[in-house]
């Protein structure tokens, strides 16, 4: 199986977590694109979706799946999203697609976070993938200096503006031994909107695409 086939296998398996008649939280990325394709096959059995990015919204719209504003939704039973890295403790790095802030907001509302990923995303320790940090544009240089103090090497992601009008710093060489503490410390820097550590609220279930098909870990 190719990496993309493993992503697809995980995405299709995740349909088992979608409750009939519910509004589904939908993440962003190539794995989630497979999930949206799969969700479209049961679109008459769900009420609609809440989306974590403009890109996912467009794809959901194209399938005729109603996209609700999160503010009009009290309850989300499940949020399905990919990850750039995930550990056995279900801590993740996300934000490779620059959608981390909306992803974290929708994840916060959902009762269950189902992470869908191919097996290359499983890691013993987070941090080989550069950690994305969404920053208010005028604070970019200040936040970069503060991230250096925390031990990282921030790089401005040139040409990228998030759906919220902000910029992304990708932090290389960060030693992330305590992801929950690191998530809080980075979020405490003035000018940071949020960072791509999903540790305080990690995944509840990992649906992993492997060469032998999909595997559910919880």
The footprint of ligand 5RP (CB under 6 A) covers 27-31, 81-84, 94-100, 103
| Closer residue to ligand 5RP (CB): 1 or 142 | 1
Write phi, then psi, for 207 (nearest 5 degrees).
-105, 110
Q: Which member of 85, 103, 134, 146 is catalytic?
A: 103
At a CB cut-off of 8 Å and minimum separation 6, what does 178 contact? none
Question: Quick one: tokens of 25?
Answer: 């939280």
3-state class (DSSP) for residue 138? helix
Least CB distance to ligand 5RP at residue 32 (A)? 6
Least CB distance to ligand 5RP at residue 10 (A)? 9
Least CB distance to ligand 5RP at residue 203 (A)? 11
| Closer residue to ligand 5RP (CB): 96 or 152 | 96
Least CB distance to ligand 5RP at residue 62 (A)? 18
Asked if 25 and 107 count as a contact pair (C-beta separation under 8 A), the reply is: yes
| Closer residue to ligand 5RP (CB): 7 or 140 | 7
Q: Rounded distance, CA 95 to CA 80, Å?
A: 14
| Closer residue to ligand 5RP (CB): 142 or 201 | 201
Catalytic-residue membership of 85: no
Burial classification of residue 31, based on how many CB atoms lie within 10 Å of its CB (0-12 exposed, 13-18 middle, 19 or more buried): buried
Q: Rounded distance, CA 168 to CA 160, Å?
A: 7
Catalytic residues: 103
């Amino acid at each position: 199986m190719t990496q993309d086939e493993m992503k697809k296998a995980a995405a299709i398996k995740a349909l088992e977590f979608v409750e009939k008649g519910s509004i589904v939280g939908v993440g962003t990325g190539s794995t989630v694109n497979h999930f949206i394709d799969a969700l479209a096959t049961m679109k008459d059995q769900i009420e609609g979706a809440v989306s974590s990015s403009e890109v996912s919204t467009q794809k959901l719209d194209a399938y005729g799946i109603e996209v609700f504003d999160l503010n009009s939704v009290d309850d989300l039973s499940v949020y399905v999203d990919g990850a750039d890295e995930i550990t056995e403790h279900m801590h993740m790095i996300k934000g490779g697609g620059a959608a981390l802030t909306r992803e974290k907001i929708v994840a916060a509302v959902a009762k269950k976070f189902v992470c869908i990923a191919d097996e290359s995303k499983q890691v013993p320790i987070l941090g080989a993938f550069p950690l994305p940090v969404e920053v208010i544009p005028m604070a970019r240089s200040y936040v970069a200096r503060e991230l250096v103090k925390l031990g990282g090497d921030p790089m401005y992601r040139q040409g990228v503006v998030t759906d919220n009008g902000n910029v992304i710093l990708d932090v290389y060489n960060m030693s992330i031994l305590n992801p929950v503490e690191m998530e809080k410390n980075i979020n405490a820097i003035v000018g940071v909107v949020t960072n791509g550590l999903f540790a305080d609220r990690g995944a509840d279930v990992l649906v992993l695409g492997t060469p032998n098909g999909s595997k559910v870990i919880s």
